[in-house]
Amino acid sequence: MLIFAAMPEQIYSPFTDFTFSNRKCFLTGQTLSTEEEKIQVFPQWLMSRYQLEDKPFKMLDESMATYKDIKIPCSAQINEAVLEPLENEIAAAFEIGYEAIKNLDDLKLFQWAGKLLYGIIFNEIQTGIKQQHAQGEEFNISESIIHKFSNLHLMLQSLNLPIVFEDFKPYSIFLFKVDNNPEEFGYRDEINTLTFSLRIKDFGLIICLQDNGANRIYHKEIFDKIKNEVLHPIQFEEFCGRVFYSAYLFNRLPEYNVLPAGDSIYIEAMPLRGISSKPLFDDWMNKIYGQVLESFWKNWGFLLLEIIKNPEKPMSFLFNPDGSLINGAMIELPH
């Protein structure tokens, strides 16, 4: 008698036919009973803590939404079984701060940030489809962006499917202790490179969601020097600028094999080197890095000309000219 292993549940791929309707759960694709079956992309506890509900949130097409406007269709069952427990665990850790987050499973941080970023992507795509249809055009989006977004969506299904990442992590995570103003909410994302940062409470968190750990290796030397320090906010933003810029320089599109076996779905990463002999990152240009820093340092008003006065050595609040570390507590700038 033949016994067949139960096939794992089906992976949902919304990007094959661009299903971004409010009648389908964003995570599983199951049909919802009503278009009102939605959840907030920015969790309620976070919005309440920083009074974000009615604050403006700028979309890619320059239009403005409010934080509470940004929602995604989600089945009540998935929300209750999968997302709420994750949300509660993250909220409890964030409430305590750095020490609790350091002890969290980093896969959970990835899933949490990934759900948030994917929720924004979902809203951007919905808006794009509506706008182009209104002009009688087909919705148009680059193949490489679809590739990244659909891989992120695949990884997010580790929330509800028995997905195993085979000897790799799809992400790079950097966590620091930061001497923040407790009332400040510092959030940033770049959806084209799938990079996310959050600076609140006594910590700063940066996640590259689709790089298979490449940015973590790229910044290893600097990260190792500063990871145990308490950073001034401007120091965190400097490192943040470095990571957002390197995520832009990262020139590979990770490829994966998806292998159902027994009750599990194994995801195996193809080597990033692939068949290309060129380095994984394009050349670092200090002038462009200076422009990134200018926007990350907006709170302190430093201008590009000051930042790259010496084009060989852009301004730094992390390191002295001799390469020694600057003590964050000695930096005298308004927080």
Burial 186-206 (b: 16+ CB within 10 A, else e): bbbbebebbbbbbbbbbbbbb
For a pLDDT cut of 90, what percent of the chain falls above it? 84
Q: What is the overall mean pLDDT for the chain? A: 93
How sure is the predictor about 262, in pLDDT bands with cuts at 50, 70 and 90? confident
Give the pLDDT of residue 17. 86
- Residue 1's pLDDT band (boundaries 50, 70, 90)? very low
Average pLDDT over residues 318-325: 94
pLDDT of 4 strictly over 60: no
What is residue 9's predicted lDDT score, i.e. its pLDDT?
64
Note the pLDDT tens digit of each residue in 43-56: 999 999 999 999 99
Q: What is the pLDDT of residue 136?
A: 83
In angstroms, how far apart are the furthest CA atoms of the chain?
Answer: 77
Helix axes 84-96, 106-134, angle to 10 degrees: 120
Instruction: Work out the average pLDDT over 137-149.
Output: 89
The arithmetic mean of pLDDT across residues 266-277, rounded, is 87
DSSP state of 325: B
pLDDT band at 5 (very low <50, low <70, confident <90, very high): very low
Sorted by where each begins, the domain ranges of the chain are 38-330
**Nearest by Cα to 20 from 135, 119, 161, 166:** 119
DSSP string covering 239-278: HHHHHHHHHHHB-----EEEEEETTEEEEEEPPSSTT--S
pLDDT of residue 133: 79
